[in-house]
Amino acid sequence: MATLVTGGAGYIGSHTAVALHDAGRDVVLVDNFSNSSPKAVDALRALTTPDIACVEGDLLDPATLERAFTDHDIDEVIHFAAYKAVGESVEKPLDYYGNNLGSTIALAQAMADHGVRRLVFSSSCTVYGQPDENPVTEAAPTGAESPYGWTKFMSEQILTDAANATPLDVVLLRYFNPVGAHPSGTLGEDPTGIPNNLVPFLMQVAVGRLEKARVFGTDYDTPDGSGVRDYIHVMDLAEAHVAALDALSDGLSGATAVNIGTGVGNSVLEVIAAVAEAVGRPIPYEIVDRRSGDIAMTWAATEFAADVLGWRASRDLDEMVRDHWRWQSQNPNGFE
Ligand code: NAD
Ligand code: WQD
């Protein structure tokens, strides 16, 4: 039996494939490489086993899922494949709704057709917007402020409705801010174009691909005025997926939304200091206006993840940026 990992060549999917292998599972990837490189698959096979299968194709093409489910003995699924750039989703809403909702519906239908009932879905803390209080619990109100955010909100609803009406059991993992890389330095995040996210941007400044970082506002109502987020090591996040699959195998039923964070908030200026420490020299930056749509601060309540999945993050910010820097310094141009 094998675990199907959609978007398995991407940043979080590839690291999760390593964690699944380390936990003794057979892994089948599906990816169309729209936002990733086949070299990520080579890297993860080198870290694990050449036997990891990869079905190349688009989830919106029915033949892709048919191949995945008939050529392999799939008994559980993790669905990472999606477009994820918040700003781009405002420019191209139909692409985002089409890809993110279309792939989720097609996958859930294929699972039903093939009698597969256990699913872990990549959701996001974006469904909370700016929470009224921190740490934010799973009971906090949800909604969205971008087409991307709505695709996560709507996918959660679609899968919850399906879980209520059909044998599907699903864990909706609401990730906070994933950073870091596999500790080997051979697998990591390789964003296309100029990074949107803070840590990949800082890393590209550190290797000289970008001149200086920008801090999007120091006038927030936070301790040092810069935005505060809950950064989580991608290997902790990867292990949370294994824990979620185990919980489903152990009988967790219906649809369950779970925060995946560390419970610790760090500011942009603290992240810049941690990266400078890991790199061994200052990171040049300038303070600019707030980025439209940004919130001041959010971090996760982690008790529910501990209760329902038996999982807690174990790596701190210093380890995240050290591992991210090992990857970036050994691969200044990513997989190219
Ligand atoms: P990523 O872009 O690195 O990985 C997504 C993968 O899915 C890519 O390899 C892409 O080629 C593939 N893909 C996209 N559409 C596809 C399709 N129609 N058919 C087949 N493959 C397709 O992104 P990531 O950072 O690894 O994120 C994984 C998931 O986690 C996404 O659903 C994302 O929305 C969610 N998420 C990410 C973050 C984050 O900050 N990285 C935070 C919260 C949630
Ligand atoms: C982090 C902090 C910025 C870049 C996004 C998505 C969210 C989720 C995770 C998918 C903020 C500041 C950033 C820079 C900066 N993704 N910043 N200079 O916005 O918290 O979350 O990724 O689901 O939905 O919105 O992450 O890394 O972009 O920003 O000062 O060049 O860094 O203002 O305070 P964000 P981020």
The response to whether residue 204 sits with its C-beta less than 6 Å from ligand 1 reads no
Considering only CA atoms, which residue is closest to atom 1 of ligand 1? 10
- C-alpha neighbours within 13 Å on the C-beta side of residue 43: 27
SS3 85: coil
Ligand 1 nearest-atom number relative to CA 123 = 44
Answer whether 272's CB lies under 8 Å from 202's CB. Answer: yes
Helices (H) and strands (E) in the chain, counts: 12, 13
User: How many whole angstroms from 264 Cα to the centroid of ligand 2?
Assistant: 16
Indicate if the pLDDT at residue 18 is higher than 90. Answer: yes
pLDDT at 143: 96
State the amino acid at position 193 in one-letter form.
Answer: G
pLDDT at 134: 97
- C-alpha neighbours within 13 Å on the C-beta side of residue 229: 24
pLDDT band at 303 (very low <50, low <70, confident <90, very high): very high
What separation, in Å, do the N-terminal and C-terminal C-alpha atoms of the chain show? 33
Closest CA to 85 of 101, 75, 96: 96
The response to whether residue 31 sits with its C-beta less than 6 Å from ligand 1 reads yes
Percent of the chain topping pLDDT 70:
100
Instruction: For residue 214, report the phi and psi dihedrals to the nearest 5 degrees.
Output: -120, 135
pLDDT 10s digits, 106-141: 999 999 999 999 999 999 999 999 999 999 999 999
pLDDT 10s digits, 239-291: 999 999 999 999 999 999 999 999 999 999 999 999 999 999 999 999 999 99
User: How many whole angstroms from 228 Cα to the centroid of ligand 2?
Assistant: 10
Site residues for ligand 2, CB cut-off 6 Å: 84, 86, 124, 126, 177, 196-198, 201, 213-216, 227, 229, 268, 291, 294
User: How many whole angstroms from 246 Cα to the centroid of ligand 1?
Assistant: 22
Residue 37, sorted as left (phi over 0), alpha (psi -120 to 50) or beta, turns out to be beta
Cα 128 to Cα 300: distance, rounded to the nearest angstrom: 10
Answer whether 68's CB lies under 8 Å from 113's CB. Answer: no
Q: Which helix (H) or strand (E) holds 48?
A: none
- Eight-state DSSP code of residue 331: -
- Strand-pairing partners, residue 121, are 79, 172
User: How many whole angstroms from 36 Cα to the centroid of ligand 1?
Assistant: 9
Q: Which two tokens stand for residue 47?
A: 């870290």
| 119, 243, 298 from 111: Cα distances, Å | 9, 21, 34
pLDDT 10s digits, 142-185: 999 999 999 999 999 999 999 999 999 999 999 999 999 999 99
Ligand 1 nearest-atom number relative to CA 125 = 43
The response to whether residue 81 sits with its C-beta less than 6 Å from ligand 1 reads yes
Please pick, among 11, 148, 220, 231, the residue that the annotation labels catalytic.
148
The response to whether residue 259 sits with its C-beta less than 6 Å from ligand 1 reads no
User: How many whole angstroms from 6 Cα to the centroid of ligand 1?
Assistant: 9
pLDDT at 60: 98
Residue with token string 């200091």:
273
Closest CA to 126 of 259, 225, 255: 259
Average pLDDT, the chain: 98
User: How many whole angstroms from 234 Cα to the centroid of ligand 2?
Assistant: 15
pTM to 2 decimal places: 0.98
Considering only CA atoms, which residue is closest to atom 28 of ligand 1? 80
Q: Which two tokens stand for residue 75?
A: 């008994």
Percent of the chain topping pLDDT 90:
100
Structural domains of the chain, ranges and CATH numbers in brackets: 2-180+232-261+304-313 (3.40.50.720)
Check if 97 is active-site: no
Cα 274 to Cα 239: distance, rounded to the nearest angstrom: 24
Indicate if the pLDDT at residue 63 is higher than 90. Answer: yes
Ligand 2 nearest-atom number relative to CA 123 = 23
pLDDT at 336: 87
The response to whether residue 10 sits with its C-beta less than 6 Å from ligand 1 reads yes
pLDDT 10s digits, 42-59: 999 999 999 999 999 999
The response to whether residue 9 sits with its C-beta less than 6 Å from ligand 1 reads yes
